[in-house]
């Protein structure tokens, strides 16, 4: 339990938001280590204990700096790969945020950039994580994840990209 709290606190510090804006490579490297630590912990959790952690991280990604979205969806992409069909149980909560971010990251749909600095690089990274995560959710789906409602939510933002 103590390890879980330490890893959560470390993750919440959000290296992305405190790293110099121009150093995406260094940010990515450090984030990778933090995500690997978190992944090691998640693999030992039950669904019941992972669920609140996942929702807390999702809420965290929606507050503060937009760079948190990069971190969260990178983590989600890694979790989708490692947990496979188990991650699909949580993926329904990502459909609306993914659709919204696909729209916000489309420069023809909005006049305001999603990120303040290095916008095009960060948008490309975000799209990579979003689409990779979505691909893995569909790849490992065994429970008919892509319902008509979810498909309708995702279809237009995907086509507009």
Listed by start position, the domains of the chain span: 2-160
pLDDT band at 156 (very low <50, low <70, confident <90, very high): very high
**To which H or E segment does residue 10 belong?**
helix 2-12
Residue 45: both structure tokens together: 């959790």
Question: In the prediction, which pLDDT does 52 show?
Answer: 94
- 75 within 8 A of 35, measured Cβ to Cβ: yes
66-100 pLDDT per residue, tens: 999 999 999 999 999 999 999 999 999 999 999 99
> Cα 118 from chain centroid?
19
99 touches 154 (CB < 8 A) = yes
Report pLDDT digits (tens) over 3-33. Answer: 555 555 555 555 445 555 557 888 889 899 9
- pTM, rounded to two decimals: 0.86
SS (H, E, C) 107-156: CCCCCCCCCCCCHHHHHHHHHHHHHHHHHHHHHCCCCCCCCHHHHHHHHH
Q: Which of 89, 87, 123, 83 is nearest to 107 (CA)?
A: 123
pLDDT, tens digit, for every residue of 91-128? 999 999 999 999 999 888 777 888 877 788 999 999 99
CA gap 81, 32 in Å, rounded: 15
Q: Are 133 and 76 in contact (CB under 8 A)?
A: yes
Q: Check whether 49 has a pLDDT greater than 90.
A: yes
Average pLDDT over residues 129-145: 96
Length of the chain: 161
With CA atoms as reference, report the closest residue to 54 among 100, 95, 93: 93
106/31 Cα distance (integer angstroms):
25
């Amino acid at each position: 339990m103590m390890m879980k709290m330490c890893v959560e606190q470390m993750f919440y510090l959000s290296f992305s938001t405190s790293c110099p804006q121009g150093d995406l490579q260094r940010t990515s490297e450090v984030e990778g280590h933090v995500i690997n630590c978190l992944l090691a912990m998640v693999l030992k959790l039950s669904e019941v204990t992972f669920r609140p952690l996942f929702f807390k991280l999702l809420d965290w990604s929606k507050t503060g700096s937009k760079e948190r979205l990069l971190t969260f969806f990178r983590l989600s992409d890694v979790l989708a790969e490692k947990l496979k069909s188990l991650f699909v149980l949580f993926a329904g909560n990502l459909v609306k945020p993914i659709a919204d971010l696909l729209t916000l990251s489309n420069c023809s749909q909005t006049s305001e950039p999603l990120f303040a600095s290095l916008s095009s690089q960060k948008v490309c990274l975000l799209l990579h994580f979003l689409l990779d995560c979505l691909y893995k959710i569909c790849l490992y789906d065994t429970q008919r994840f892509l319902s008509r409602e979810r498909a309708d939510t995702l279809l237009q933002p995907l086509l507009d990209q």
